[in-house]
Amino acid sequence: MGSVPSLPESLMKNQELVTDLCRFAEGIATEAAVRKKWRLQEEAWTLLGESDEFTRAVEEARVQRIRSGACKRERAQQLIAEKGASTLDRILSDERSNPRHKIDAVKALDDLAGFAPQRPAAEEDRVVIRIDLSADTKNPADVLTFEAVARPNKPSDDTNVIDATPSPIRSLSDNTVDELPPVRRGPGRPKGSRNKPKVVDERPKCVPGFDV
């Protein structure tokens, strides 16, 4: 049967109805829920299943839902809503459960309840910088760790802020300021030495030990 003349054209081309029938085929929605939502009597329900065009539209929509992850996401949400909380409740209420499992169940229930995380906001905006200088010495003391806030907002007490101002080089041992190393000269004579006359020693050479 290629068409369903007894059904309205708007119902045949309704994309929301196609999606609901996809959920029914995937086991997410029940037949009674779909028929009640769209007020489909037994005859109309049968005619929809016999329509080649409508069946092909539902199958194409199912493939798209699988590729986009909508089917998996909605199925997982349904299982969490139906069985997730009750399963965690059994773990939490069982006296024979491991205390660690009970703590994990409490955390999972807290996440499902949608409560905000009980962590200070400053921890989310912090950054840790680790500088490893122990490649040659293998000394753990040569590993430097700095912790500071990531954004230069007004910090609270005892909070370090990353500053772009350059600081002098400090020693790792006594934490004192060291002098910068001198600039190395390139090969050849220093600049300006070519204009200076060469000094020649005109003294007569004598016997060693009796130089005048």
Tell me the pLDDT tens digit for each residue of 85-132: 899 999 999 999 898 998 998 888 888 887 655 554 444 566 777 787
Q: Give me the mean pLDDT over the 167-171 stretch.
A: 48
Alpha helices in the chain (DSSP H): 9-12, 15-25, 31-38, 42-50, 52-68, 70-79, 85-93, 99-113, 121-124
Q: Kindly report, residue by residue over 38-65, the tens digit of the pLDDT.
A: 999 898 898 888 888 889 999 999 999 9
Helix (H, G, I), strand (E, B) or coil at 161: strand
Task: Give the tokens for residue 56.
Answer: 């092909």
pLDDT, mean of residues 165-187 = 55
CA-based R_g, the chain, Å: 40
DSSP character for 5?
T
- Dihedral through CA 103, CA 106, CA 110, CA 116, nearest 10? -30
pTM: 0.48
